[in-house]
Amino acid sequence: MKTLKTIHLIIVLSISLVITGQDYPFTVEVQGKGQPILLFPGFTCTDAVWEETVTELSNNYECHIFTFAGFGDVPPIEKPWLPKIKTGVEAYVKDQNLKDAIIIGHSLGGALGLWLATEEEHTFLKIIVVDALPSTGALMIPNFKSEDMVYESPWNKQMLAMDTVAFDAMAAQMAAGMSLNKEKQQQIKDWILQADRETYVYGYTDLLKLDLREDIAKINIPVNILAATQPYGLEMVKGTYTEQYKNLKDYDIEFAADAAHFIMYDSPIWFQEKLNTRLAE
């Protein structure tokens, strides 16, 4: 499968950017002017998840808003999906000469931001992680071992073979658990259904395999974490985050009291205020 050639560019506030022709495993929309911010969406989501966020941030920042291969209208790529996304982001940052960029990443996007920051050579200023952990697999799977996460598994075969009706029902159930906002639940479901099925299955395997709990000790820039407390409750969430981030040197965390996984949808005012505060620091 072919990677997507070039990236989409939105001209905002009379800004004109020249972007060289290049193959990337994602599309990027650029809005605003100022210090660069890379906005990574969560798994299956498109750049539209950041629409309200970018409306405000683009007044003061140059927002680079990603949609990853296999999601939305972006063509899929061959596996391994997540390592290719990471390599593509590194190339994009270098090609666009983005210095002191800030990463804002939701879920998968937050894990990707942490992964990028563990590398010795990077140009990022800070990371704002939105409801993401260094190891999703350790959260989801008892006795988790990264090496056990393989593409050829009974679960993956079952997911690939699932018919449309069953997959639709699964998507609806998942969406209902990730946001308290009924209207946004439909959008989340639609993104899941729109995703390329192999990307959905094998890309999620890549995410589960990623275990950064030890490697985050290498991160030498500030990490701000915004964490959801629903539906598990504050104490359980605190325990999970404390354990998973214990090797990270410089971080702070704030908890959204009335929000599930999509904090930007469930507590939009709180979320935007926290972003503004952290970006101003």
What digits encode the pLDDT tens for the residues 92-121?
999 999 999 999 999 999 999 999 999 977
Interval 18-71: pLDDT, tens = 333 368 999 999 999 999 999 999 999 999 999 999 999 999 999 999 999 999
What pTM value is reported for the model?
0.91
The structure tokens 């999601």 sit at 71
**Confidence class for position 13, pLDDT limits 50, 70, 90:** very low
pLDDT reported for residue 7: 36
pLDDT digits (tens, 9 = 90+) for 161-218: 999 999 999 999 999 999 999 999 999 999 999 999 999 999 999 999 999 999 999 9
Q: Which pLDDT value is given to residue 22?
A: 61
Query: Dihedral sign, CA of 29, 128, 36, 124?
Result: negative
Calculate helix-pair angle for 81-95, 108-117, nearest 10 degrees.
60
What pLDDT, on a 0 to 100 scale, did the predictor assign at position 121? 78
CA distance 60 to 55: 10
User: 74 by DSSP, 3-state: which?
Assistant: coil
d(C-alpha 281, C-alpha 268), whole Å: 20
Region 140-159: mean pLDDT is 95
Phi, psi for residue 184 in degrees, rounded to 5: -75, -25
Kindly state the average pLDDT of the residues 262-270: 98
pLDDT bin (cut points 50, 70, 90) of residue 10 is: very low
Please give the pLDDT value at position 123: 85
Domains and CATH numbers, the chain: 4-280 (3.40.50.1820)
